[in-house]
């Protein structure tokens, strides 16, 4: 720090004049704090009201979407039920409703199921 | 609980009012009314942060708020503050007491600095803060804070030399 910088620091410190904290300062500060408190409360209240409103709108929309989605669910069924009608097996309507290859699978599983007891019986 | 918080806050403000007002005055280049407004704004913000900062460093907090408020208010156009090449009213010898004369000269010179340079110089030479802390308060890299301080001091050096020449 050279002498100019030292002089600058000294000038800044020496120019300090003692200013007491007066009643008017205190009153002004209290008023400022109360005003800011009111603004903060208003902001928080507005924010809460807006959040609740947004949540309500969101839930209502969601509920209406679900309500619309309910009757749409079984609409593909007539297509599959038509296949099940054309299918040869009447014993498994539920499994045929899922698709065409299923009856073949069920028949193979049935065959396997029948071979196991057969093999057991052959062992016996 | 609320009463003890208010008492503690009041004690802090009463104890530090004078020093903080002087800092605000230096930051605003000697504008007493603007300094009071800035300090008021900073102390209102401090009140709401008081539960968090009371046990740590309330003065550092209020200084940071004060510096940012000073920089912000300097950006507002209606203050009409702009750097000029020459001091507006160079003080004449013997027309005021030495202390007032020196303060007036200092404030006039500080007014001529751009706001961020003034803040950097005041924090560095009045508050004695290290460069890292100046940078932290200003919210800029250390190199920028160093550069702002150096340019501010260089400008003040020129202004001081001019003032001395005009007195001679």
pLDDT digits (tens, 9 = 90+) for A83-96: 555 545 554 554 44
Summarised one tens digit per residue, pLDDT across range B39-88 is: 999 999 999 999 888 888 898 889 989 888 887 766 654 554 555 565 55
Residues A85 and A52 in one domain: no
Q: Tell whether A87 is covered by a domain.
A: yes
Among A4, A28, A40, the residue with its CB nearest the CB of B160 is A4
Q: Tell whether A37 is covered by a domain.
A: yes
Question: Comparing B62 with A71, which gets the higher pLDDT?
Answer: B62
Task: Provide the angle, in degrees to the nearest 10, between the axes of the packed helices B58-75 and B32-53.
Answer: 140
Summarised one tens digit per residue, pLDDT across range A30-50 is: 999 999 999 999 999 999 999
Name the pTM for this structure: 0.65
Residues A84 and A58 in one domain: no
Span of B5-14, B52-61, B157-166 with lowest mean pLDDT: B157-166
Which token pair is A46? 């507005």
Check: CB of residue B16 under 8 Å from CB of residue A20: no
Which token pair is A33? 């704090």
Q: Tell whether A36 is covered by a domain.
A: yes
**pLDDT at residue B92 is higher than 90:** no
Per-residue b or e along B15-25, where b marks 16 or more CB atoms closer than 10 Å to that residue's CB: ebbeebbbbbb
Q: Tell whether A45 is covered by a domain.
A: yes
Q: Which pLDDT belongs to residue B109?
A: 86
Domain count, chain A: 2
**Which of B 121-140 lie inside 8 A of A, CB atoms?**
121-122, 125-126, 128
Enter the ipTM. Answer: 0.71
Q: Between chains, do B43 and A29 touch, taking CB under 8 Å as contact?
A: yes
**Residue B131 Cα, gap to closest chain A Cα (Å):** 14
Percent of chain B with pLDDT over 70: 80
- The residues, ordered by sequence, that sit 6+ positions from A88 with a Cβ below 8 Å of its Cβ are A103
Q: Is B32 on the interface with A (CB under 8 A)?
A: no
Q: Tell whether A8 is covered by a domain.
A: no
CA angle centred on B111, ends B43 and A26, rounded to 5°: 20
**Alpha helices by DSSP H, A1-124:** 3-14, 23-72, 77-86, 93-96, 102-123
Residues A96 and A124 in one domain: yes
Confidence of residue A118 (pLDDT cuts 50, 70, 90): very low
Q: Tell whether A15 is covered by a domain.
A: no
Q: How far apart are CA B163 and CA B87, in angstroms?
A: 8
- The residues, ordered by sequence, that sit 6+ positions from A121 with a Cβ below 8 Å of its Cβ are none
Span of A63-67, B15-19, B48-52, B95-99 with lowest mean pLDDT: B95-99
Confidence of residue A113 (pLDDT cuts 50, 70, 90): very low
**pLDDT at residue B18 is higher than 80:** yes
Confidence of residue B6 (pLDDT cuts 50, 70, 90): confident
Q: Provide the residue count of chain A.
A: 124
Q: How far apart are CA A106 and CA A91, in angstroms?
A: 11
Q: Is A2 on the interface with B (CB under 8 A)?
A: no
- In terms of residue numbers, what domain contains A121? 79-124
Summarised one tens digit per residue, pLDDT across range A5-30 is: 888 888 888 888 888 898 999 999 99
Q: How far apart are CA B21 and CA A28, in angstroms?
A: 15
Q: How far apart are CA B80 and CA B6, in angstroms?
A: 37
Residues A84 and A61 in one domain: no
Check: CB of residue B28 under 8 Å from CB of residue B38: yes
Taking residues A56-77, report their average pLDDT.
78
pLDDT, averaged across chain B: 82
- All domains of chain B in start order, with CATH: 1-81 (no CATH), 85-168 (1.10.10.10)
Question: How many A×B Cβ pairs under 8 Å?
Answer: 69
Q: How far apart are CA B20 and CA B35, in angstroms?
A: 9
Check: CB of residue B119 under 8 Å from CB of residue B67: yes
Confidence of residue A110 (pLDDT cuts 50, 70, 90): very low
Residues A83 and A58 in one domain: no
| Contact list, B48 vs chain A (CB under 8 Å) | 36, 40
Q: How far apart are CA A18 and CA B22, in angstroms?
A: 9
């Amino acid at each position: 720090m050279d002498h100019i910088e030292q002089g600058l620091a000294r000038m800044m410190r020496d120019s300090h004049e003692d200013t007491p904290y007066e009643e008017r300062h205190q009153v002004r500060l209290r008023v400022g704090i109360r005003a800011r408190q009111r603004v903060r409360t208003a902001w928080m209240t507005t924010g809460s009201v807006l959040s609740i409103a947004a949540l309500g709108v969101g839930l209502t929309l969601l509920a209406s979407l679900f309500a619309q989605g309910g009757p749409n669910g079984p609409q593909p069924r007539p297509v599959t039920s038509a296949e099940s009608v054309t299918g040869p097996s009447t014993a498994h309507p539920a499994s045929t409703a899922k698709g065409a290859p299923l009856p073949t699978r069920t028949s193979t599983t049935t065959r396997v199921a029948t071979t196991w007891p057969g093999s057991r019986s052959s062992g016996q | 609980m609320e009463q003890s918080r208010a008492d503690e806050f009041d004690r802090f403000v009463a104890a530090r009012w004078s020093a903080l007002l002087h800092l605000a005055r230096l930051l605003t280049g000697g504008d007493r009314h603007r300094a009071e407004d800035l300090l008021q704004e900073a102390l209102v913000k401090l009140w709401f942060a008081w539960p968090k900062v009371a046990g740590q460093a309330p003065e550092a907090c209020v200084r940071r708020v004060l510096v940012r408020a000073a920089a912000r208010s300097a950006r507002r156009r209606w203050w009409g503050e702009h750097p000029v090449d020459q001091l507006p009213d160079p003080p004449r010898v013997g027309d005021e007491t030495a202390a007032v004369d020196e303060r007036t000269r200092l404030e006039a010179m500080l007014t001529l600095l751009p706001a961020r340079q003034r803040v950097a110089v005041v924090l560095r030479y009045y508050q004695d803060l290290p460069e890292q802390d100046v940078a932290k308060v200003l919210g800029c890299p250390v190199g920028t804070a160093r550069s702002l301080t150096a340019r501010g001091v260089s400008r003040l050096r020129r202004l001081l030399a001019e003032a001395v020449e005009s007195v001679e």
